[in-house]
Structure 1
Amino acid sequence: MPVNRLFFSAGEVSGDIHAARLIKALKERLPQGEVVGLGGRFMALEGMELIDGDVSLFSTVGLTDSLRFYERKKKSYERATAYLNSHPVDGVVLVDNQGFNIPLARFCYEKGIPCVYYMPPHVSIWGRWNAPKLMEWCKHLFVSFPEDAKVYREYGNHVDYYGHPLAEEIRLFLAQSGHPEQKTVMIGLFPGSRYQEIENLLSEMLLAVKNMPQEWRVCLALSHPDYEQMIREQVVNHGLTKRVEFSYDARAVLFQSTVVVASSGTITLEAALFRKPVILGYRISPLSYLIGHLLLKEKLIGMPNILLHQKLFPELLQKDWNHRNILKWIEFFLSLSDEEKKRYDEAYDALWRLLLVEGGHDKLASHILSVFGLWDESSPSM
């Protein structure tokens, strides 16, 4: 008999946010259901019991960079498996965070615990070897890029694409917000949701700010309260306390921005869906960069660029991430010709066509519950 308990495993801040929205949709359909597992503050706000505190801060990118939180992640993995060994659950929902969740998928498979993977690895871009084993270990996969579904389906049919959740959410936000008042240029800064990103990227952002016209507004989006002090310290050290505004509302910052400067990640896709030009960058250890460059199918890292199969937005990697290049590209986007603006508008339209599926999030939530035997099409909506 069902125990009405689901176990979630999410890692980075973006995964925490996506998982939280999914938990809300699931609990609307299963109001007596219990949700426990690994995640962060957004999942906790939706009623999930965190068995190991907020783990969203311990995410890294790169093979060598991942050693920083190895012991902490090992502890989380041990807590997760111990919980699953001692508590009955109807199913496990894995969200992104592949370095952690792929081993957990195998554990669930070996223990006979049904699991689904929401936002599994982007095998159309790199790591194709993950596709056959995840299709074996998981009862169902729910991808966020349409081309990933094509790769996974080479190994089975239990994979679906219901659009990217950002598209539905941003469409609703824009419908409620109208049009921004662009009285002056505003530069939105998004230094990242990982310690390594803030440490490696923020300083060059701030050096760029020091060279911007005084009439421009600059607003920096904070992704987590634990990062605020280290960010404010850098702003103080650069003498920019009166120059840089702060906000925890990332979408409000995107909405008001003229140009976005961001760490490569989900935020770059959000910026493009807001129809805002984005200058994206990343720095990791040289060895991690070399390995990653060799493994990438397309030599692109920005989500909107990958989806469009072209370097529409600049990717400033390693030494190319510097304040001079940031300023150069800001000036480029501020001086687009009408023909160039048309090209970008067409690209934004293409992204919306790719990522928006009507009612996709509701379909996703119902499908996940049906995989675990907790929902069927005749069930009344809550």
Structure 2
Amino acid sequence: MKHKRSIFISTGEVSGDLQGALLIKALKRQAEAMALDLEILALGGDRMAAAGATLLGHTSAIGSMGILESLPYMLPTLRIQRQAKKYLQQHPPDLVVLLDYMAPNIAFCNYLPRHLPEVPIVYYIAPQEWVWSVSDYNTRCIINAVDLILAIFPEEANYYRRQGGKVTWVGHPLIDRMQNPPTRESARAALKIPPEQIAVVLFPASRQQELKYLIPTMFEAAQQIQAKIPQVHFWIPLALEQYRQSLEQAIQRYGLNATLLADPSPPRADSRNETSVALQAIAAADLAITKSGTVNLEIALLNVPQVVLYKLNPLTGWIAHRLLRFSAPFVSPTNLVTMQPIVKEFLQFQATPDAIAQESLDLLLNPERRQKMLADYQEMRQALGEVGACDRAAQEILGFLNQSGETRKNGRKWENA
């Protein structure tokens, strides 16, 4: 007879929803093999719900980067967290998984050890403090609260080990998602793109703020590319349906030859090899112009050259640069894997339409530049780990469930973990 256990997963934003869905599918596979009757509760989005989680709050559209940008999301985030905390107090889970989503999950790191001290905590895809830590506050919160960190980058694992955390490197989950990626030919056939057409995929936004700060720069660069290569066509996958109107208006305003693409809504609970329209658009493309984020790795794994940009509110950028002395060697995950400049990053004041258009045209028209980037992608791929990252993460998480009964010692939980 199966034994009933419960896991609560906390994440947010579009990328967290995707990673959460991949993890949930792996947890269910591993639980079935272990004869565990597993209930998964979550703060997440439609993909996690389709994968089998019961949502306590919908957070895929709640998220931001930056100081001023986060203000509109504070009250909705606090409201959802209050609801989740109330539920967890009344129905304590057997284990909590915090997934990415830095500020809200740091709040859980402060809350859970005090109010649910016997519930073990695993952090999967921990905040990138190893790249841009301004202070050690977040790192100390995580190390003091969390029983195990499941790292996806080698340097992430090294950083948190040096800080005193218990860490297992599981590899990057996107490797699992890319086991059977669409080919260029199949993707072009699915999207009805002629073999000879130059196709550029644009990824301007998975957060509301990005519509405001990235679209003008990205679309003006696209406008310049279109002036140089009139036969180019742009493909724009929708991260969220609510962005459709803003993007349609921008396409018209900048006069782009562009097509919006959207997945079925709500997402289907398909197999682990589900192909989204975003993946099809990447596979079909000659170039990607993209915001910094997880999508950069998807683009690299599909061997498509890319240009990366990111912009925040100008005041936020000034505060970070002048007052907080913020600096980071890289921000794109493609570069963070090996800590090498595989793709060019145009950040804040450097992210001008002229610079992005020039880099894009060079990658489209210069075979040597393209081949150099594709060769660097292969080196990066080796550092991402082997297939099975999601299942390795699931095995580590479920291993904690089999250790119930252990207690805290010296301020830490699960002494034998």
Give the TM-score of the pair, scaled to structure 1: 0.89
Relative to structure 1, the CA distance from residue 179 to residue 253 in structure 2 (aligned partners, 3 Å threshold; closer, same or farther) is: closer
CA distance in 1, matches of 2:237, 2:285: 11
More moved, 67-76 vs 204-213 = 204-213
Residue 177 of structure 1 and its aligned partner are, at CA, apart by: 7.6
* 1:186 correspondence with 2:187: no
Match of 1:313 in 2: 343
Contact 1:131 1:151 in 2 (8 A): no
Match of 1:17 in 2: 18
Once residues 2 and 109 of structure 1 are traced to their aligned partners in structure 2, the CA distance between those partners, rounded to angstroms, is: 25
1:363 maps to amino acid: R
User: What's the counterpart of residue 259 of structure 1?
Assistant: 287
Match of 1:35 among 24, 35, 40: 40
The correspondence for 1:274, drawn from 302, 311, 330, is: 302
Q: CA deviation at 1:373?
A: 2.0
1:156-171 to 2 correspondences below 5 Å: 156=164, 158-171=166-179
Amino acid aligned to 2:372: R
| Displacement of 1:118 | 0.7
How does the TM-score come out when normalised to structure 2? 0.82
Indicate the percent of aligned positions where both proteins have the same amino acid: 27
Q: Count how many residue pairs are aligned between Structure 1 and Structure 2.
A: 371
Name the CA shift for 1:318/1:307 in 2 (closer, same or farther; >3 Å): same
Q: CA deviation at 1:346?
A: 2.8
Q: Matched residues in 1 for 2:219 and 2:162: separation?
A: 46
Aligned match for 1:82, one of 69, 80, 86? 86
Q: Which residue of 2 aligns with 1:92?
A: 96
Question: Which residue of 283, 286, 311 maps to 2:311?
Answer: 283
Residue pairs, 1:151-300, within 5 angstroms: 151-156=159-164, 158-173=166-181, 182-211=195-224, 212=226, 213-240=229-256, 243-248=257-262, 249-293=277-321, 294=324, 296=326, 298-300=328-330
- Note the residue ranges of structure 1 that are not aligned, 5 or more in a row: 376-382
Give the match for residue 73 of structure 2.
69
Specify the SS of the correspondent of 1:164.
coil
Counterpart in the other structure of 2:378: 349
Is 1:6 aligned to 2:7, yes or no?
yes
Distance apart, 1:133 and its partner CA = 3.0
Q: Distance in 2 between matches of 1:134 and 1:318?
A: 29
Q: Aligned-pair distance for 1:134?
A: 1.3
> What is the deviation of 1:374?
7.7
Per the alignment, residue 387 of structure 2 pairs with 358
* Cα separation, 2, equivalents of 1:36 and 1:67: 27
Whether contact under 8 Å (1:125, 1:296) holds in the other structure is: no
| More displaced stretch, 120-129 vs 272-281 | 120-129
Judged with a 3 Å threshold, the aligned counterparts in structure 2 of structure 1 residues 372 and 131 are, in CA distance, closer, same or farther, namely: farther
SS at match of 2:317: helix
Corresponding residue for 1:50?
Answer: 55
Distance 1:40 1:351, change over 3 A: same
Q: Which runs of 5+ in 2 are unaligned?
A: 189-193, 263-276, 405-417
Q: Tell me if the contact between 2:181 and 2:302 (Cα under 8 Å) persists in the aligned partners.
A: no
Quote the offset at 1:360 in angstroms: 2.3
Give the conservation status (yes or no) of the 8 Å contact 1:108–1:114.
Answer: no
Post-superposition CA distance 1:255-309 (Å, at most 9, x none) = 0111100111111122122222211111112343245445655332222123333
User: What one-letter code is carried by the residue in structure 2 that aligns with 1:107?
Assistant: Y
What's the offset of the Cα at 1:245?
1.1
Structure 1 residues 371 and 296: CA distance shift in structure 2, 3 A: farther
Give the aligned partner of residue 108 of structure 1. Answer: 112
Q: Deviations over 1:161-183 (max 9, x none)?
A: 11111123223325898796852
CA contact (8 A) 1:187 1:258 kept: yes
Root-mean-square deviation over aligned CA pairs: 2.5
Aligned-pair CA distance for 1:225: 1.3
- Contact 2:296/2:334, CA 8 A, preserved across alignment: yes
Q: Which amino acid aligns with 1:301?
A: V
Structure 1 162/177 Cα, relative in aligned 2: closer, same or farther at 3 Å?
Answer: farther
Matched residue, 1:380: none
